């Protein structure tokens, strides 16, 4: 954990903040002057991220397995101790394992349930309690476009199962928390250029086939969607695809 002092601005918690989309979201909130509480499994990864961000004093590092309720509790306790309150939770931590259904293993199932399902539920539960008490807040979950529109080219039952459930949970929780002025939304990316994906040209060519635009996205595309949702005062219960049209249908 780093030492941090409140700047009096909004505070955002970002899970999976050490790389990829989570890192880009954290960086953008820091540019806005927000306090950011970044979570990753290890402190070493967060320290590397902090160095890339310029070691800002308003970046609080909280390491731990996000599938554990104790980690979610620690995230909010340390965020509140450092900054007073939490305005935004970004449930970004996630994994994506695509393979034919018959090839999934018990370890695959347990890992994706831990990271994608429990890693959503426990932080969201903490956020709901805190934000309802404050009568304000935003919860945004990064899901997956393929959970809205499965594609025969990418067999991915487990991500479709879990991320699809998160899409519906987003709508349900938005209704549950609406009277408390807590907005609940999701961003459903298509293929985004991150360290998760190979730079091999054949792989990239395949990825470009998965959207009617014939392109892949960059982290800024997802960041812009997240910022729209957390800036909005009248948008809740939305699952926003950022996927080059991949969820629009067949082409």
Instruction: Say if 204 falls within a structural domain.
Output: yes
CATH number of the CATH domain containing 36: 3.40.50.720
Instruction: Say if 105 falls within a structural domain.
Output: yes
Instruction: Say if 15 falls within a structural domain.
Output: yes
Confidence at residue 249, expressed as pLDDT on a 0 to 100 scale: 86
Instruction: Say if 81 falls within a structural domain.
Output: yes
Which domain does 201 fall in, by range? 11-237
Nearest to 62 by CA among 185, 54, 80: 80
Fill in the DSSP letter of residue 101.
G
Confidence at residue 8, expressed as pLDDT on a 0 to 100 scale: 57
Question: How many domains, the chain?
Answer: 1
Half-sphere exposure of 221 (CA within 13 A, CB side): 16
Is residue 90 a contact partner of residue 143, using CB atoms and an 8 Å limit? no
Instruction: Say if 246 falls within a structural domain.
Output: no
Instruction: Say if 45 falls within a structural domain.
Output: yes
Nearest to 178 by CA among 225, 118, 238: 238
Instruction: Say if 208 falls within a structural domain.
Output: yes
Place of tokens 């939490």: 86
- Going residue by residue through the chain (251 aa), what tens digit of pLDDT does each one get? 444 444 458 999 999 999 999 999 999 999 999 999 999 999 999 999 999 999 999 999 999 999 999 999 999 999 999 999 999 999 999 999 999 999 999 999 999 999 999 999 999 999 999 999 999 999 999 999 999 999 999 999 999 999 999 999 999 999 999 999 999 999 999 999 887 777 788 889 999 999 999 999 999 999 999 999 999 999 999 999 999 999 998 78
Nearest to 141 by CA among 222, 33, 59, 43: 222
Instruction: Say if 197 falls within a structural domain.
Output: yes
**Residues for the chain: how many in total?**
251
């Amino acid at each position: 954990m780093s030492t941090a002092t409140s700047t009096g601005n909004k505070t955002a918690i970002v899970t999976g903040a050490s790389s990829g989309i989570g890192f880009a979201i954290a960086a953008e909130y820091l540019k806005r002057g927000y306090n950011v509480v970044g979570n990753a499994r290890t402190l070493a990864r967060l320290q590397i991220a902090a160095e890339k961000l310029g070691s800002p004093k308003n970046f609080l590092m909280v390491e731990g397995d996000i599938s554990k309720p104790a980690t979610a509790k620690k995230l909010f306790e340390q965020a509140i101790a450092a900054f007073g309150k939490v305005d935004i939770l970004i449930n970004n931590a996630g994994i994506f394992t695509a393979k034919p259904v018959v090839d999934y293993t018990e370890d695959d199932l347990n890992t994706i349930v831990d990271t994608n399902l429990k890693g959503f539920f426990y932080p969201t539960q903490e956020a709901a309690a805190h934000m309802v008490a404050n009568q304000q807040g935003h919860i945004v979950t990064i899901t997956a476009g393929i959970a809205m529109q499965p594609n025969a080219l990418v067999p991915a039952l487990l991500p479709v199962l879990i991320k699809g459930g998160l899409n519906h949970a987003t709508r349900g929780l938005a209704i549950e928390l609406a009277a408390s002025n807590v907005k609940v939304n999701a961003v459903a990316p298509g293929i985004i250029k991150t360290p998760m994906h190979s730079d091999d040209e054949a792989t990239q060519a395949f990825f470009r086939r998965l959207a009617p635009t014939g392109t892949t996205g960059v982290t800024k595309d997802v960041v812009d969607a997240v910022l729209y949702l957390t800036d909005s005062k009248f948008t809740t219960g939305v699952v926003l695809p950022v996927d080059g049209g991949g969820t629009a249908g067949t082409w």
